[in-house]
Structure 1
Amino acid sequence: MSQLRRAMPNGSLLMLVLFIAVLLSAIAVAYSAHWNRQLLNELYGELSVRDKAQAEWGRLILEQSTWTAHNRIETLAAEQLKMHIPAAADVRLVAP
């Protein structure tokens, strides 16, 4: 060990440790930037999926309100099932 210390100038071990620390720090910064870009791309993809789902949900709500409109149901009942609103004289109340 003493021969190794004689072969290296004073402070060179500290410089080597600092160089390795700077190198590792630079690699960590590059990795962090890459990871952040990947997460941002994933976020934009998920936001796109969410927007498409919201648009589909809006279309389905509109379709549901169309199919359950009272006048549409009444028209279908009258045309297809030949149903009609009974007259007051035709209504019978049944007591339990």
Structure 2
Amino acid sequence: MSTAEQPVKPQRHLPAGSGWLLLAGVLVVVSALAVSFSAHWSRLLLNELAGQIEVREKAQAEWGRLVLEQSTWTAYSRIERIATEQLGMHVPEPADVILVQP
């Protein structure tokens, strides 16, 4: 076949400004994907924050219990009672106290 016998294909021309329209469409899709990703990331971070707040609250509750327990164990009356009952100690009489000068 010669070139003269081949059917002529009609050439399709895009309207003027269609490149800008295509670019705007692509940018809209990219922007929509970015918004979706940002919302998802925000939800993940919010869930992580909620978990960390829960851990902090549990740690604060444990700290409060430990402080209360420490104050119970170091109470002066308890120490004096244990020293008297278990170790046989007693408060010395004023006459038994000897002051040593440096």
* Alignment TM-score > 0.5, same fold: yes
Distance 1:27 1:94 in 2: 83
Q: CA RMSD in A?
A: 0.9
- Residues 44-82 of structure 1: CA deviation (Å, up to 9, x unaligned): 000000000000000000000000000000000000110
| Residue of 53, 56, 64 corresponding to 2:59 | 53
Gaps of 5+ in 2: 1-11
| Residue of 17, 27, 35 corresponding to 1:11 | 17
Q: Name the structure where helix makes up a greater proportion of residues.
A: 1
Alignment-mate amino acid for residue 49 of structure 1:
V
Instruction: State the 4+ residue runs in structure 1 displaced beyond 2 angstroms.
Output: none
Distance 2:101 2:40 in 1: 76
**1:33-48 maps to which residues of 2 (within 5 A)?**
33-48=39-54
Distance 2:33 2:100 in 1: 85
Q: For residue 87 of structure 1, what is the aligned residue in structure 2?
A: 93
84-93 vs 42-51, which moves further: 84-93
Gaps of 5+ in 1: 1-5
Distance 2:23 2:99 in 1: 97
73-82 vs 85-94, which moves further: 85-94
TM-score computed with the length of structure 2 as normaliser: 0.86
Whichever of the two has the greater Rg, that structure is 2
Distance 2:99 2:31 in 1: 86
